[in-house]
Structure 1
Amino acid sequence: MAPENIVFGAGSVEVASRIILAVTNPGDRVMFAWRSFEAYPLLVTTAGAVPQPVPLAADGGHDLPAMAAAVGSNTRVVFLCNPNNPTGAVLSSAAVDSFIRSVPADVLIVLDEAYVHFNRDADTAVGIDMFRRYPNVAVLHTFSKAYGLAGLRLGYAIAAPELATALRKVAVPFGVTSLAQQAGLASLRAEDELQERIHVLVAERRRVHTAMLEAGLPVLPSEANFLWLDSGERTAALAELFEKNALSVRVFPGEGIRVTIGSPEANNRILAVARHAAALLAPQH
């Protein structure tokens, strides 16, 4: 990858904001699946563009055929979050390849791979491969998740030189601190340790997922560092149960709950609650 293809920023979300600023004019549309990363509609609105959310498929993944059909003459950017936040669903390489070929070449496709390190799906779309194959593809990566540098704010885009130049023009000067740069370099030198941590987390994710299913909870498969409980209208009751047991989860009222995979001890506490949670989600008679 050439240096002119890399653009750093204060986290991948800040780089995503720059992409919208650089590519859209007021009134242009930016498409994303919904529910997906919460910042997308906020970033779009702040830039003066128009959010264009497309509902997720029943399995919690992107409905790419519906998204392709919704692309209009004023759609300028499409964000594809892979794995998706908060559901953990993965986009396959074949599906993304078909989607990119089905939309106009002047629509920018951004593959947001914030959780790429946890993805073990052999058929997943790989952002770098898509970037090398198509000129209208950009990729977002971050040091906030697997590397654990969320508080230091370091992320980057991989983009065509023309787009990369535009992103530098709309950057906030000195947005990436020297401390973040040094931490990023140190993290890259500790790849072996990183992989060990990821291996443990992925094993824990599988264990917790299996146990939740056995407890009768509506948990979806995930390739991220969290699991999605598709709890719908019973979300508030389930969230209250977690709160009473001093467990912090991400609650989306009326939709579901994202449970982050932590240490084995923390995960055991989650599973202890899960054994009592199934009754809350059982059909009411």
Structure 2
Amino acid sequence: MLINQAGIFKCRIVDHGLAKSSGGWPQWVAQFEAVEGYNKEEDVWIDWAGEEENEIKGYFVLIGKSGETLGVKQIMAATGWDGVSFIELAAMDLSEVIVQTRIEPNTYKEKTTLQISWMDHEAAVPGGSVQKLDADGVKKLQAEFGNLLTNSGIVKAAGAPPKGKPKAPPVASSPAPGVVTKTSKAARIAAAKKAAGLETADAPGPEAGGTLTFAGMTIADMPQTAGVPEDKVEADAPAMPPDDQDLAERPDLPAKKCTSKEAWEIVVEYSREDVSDEDRAKAWQTGKGTIDKKGIKDYTE
């Protein structure tokens, strides 16, 4: 006769096989016979083999819409099936296998029946008790998997957080506005020339005419007017005007004619501080190319 009460039972597998569920999914069906029942209050197993109500049938769907179900894991744990082949499962001799089952009421379409809600191996802890590792077990767990917690960001770095407000980063000292030293100016011009590919080995001095080699091209120098004295120390360089100010309104810029070398030095001297040498060189090449196309020999035109 069928078991008529809910509880946890150790059962022998009398018969088993594979079938399809009402939804068309593969399922494992088994006939069980209870041999022991668990007394939760006294935490003991009592003999059930002599009871008339000792039979129950279990249905375990193996595959569902989302793939493999928990039924597969339960059968593997309880019977030793490797979970690889339905054929092997169907052929297994389980007549001597004892499993632990949890029997609970289930209501479907207003009808309540007792069903196996869970199955496990014979030595499983009954009653859903929490199984805990001892201190040594926890240490081994940490040694084996602790680094994964760190990599996922779950575990924070060890150490107490700093107290008080964080110190502000030191502010780098900068020269007074409008002050340009001879050394910084020369270094700035040299670095800009190097970035622009401006070769000065064959270039004439500030007092002579001749040719200037720039980016692989030779440009005729303009008649010499006023060069920039190399020994001049500018203590009060003019403030930079707004970006949208017309060049005609720039009285601080040199006027009339100048050589390409002088023009380059003026560009370096008066360009904004935030312009890199590379960007300045690109702008120089673009502007010079425009002037060359127009045949303009005067850089102020």
Relative to its length, the structure with more helix (as a share) is 1
Q: Which has the larger radius of gyration?
A: 2
Tell me which of the two structures has the higher relative contact order, counting C-alpha pairs closer than 8 angstroms and 6 or more residues apart.
Answer: 1
Give the TM-score normalised by the residue count of structure 1.
0.22
Relative to its length, the structure with more strand (as a share) is 2
Give the TM-score normalised by the residue count of structure 2.
0.21
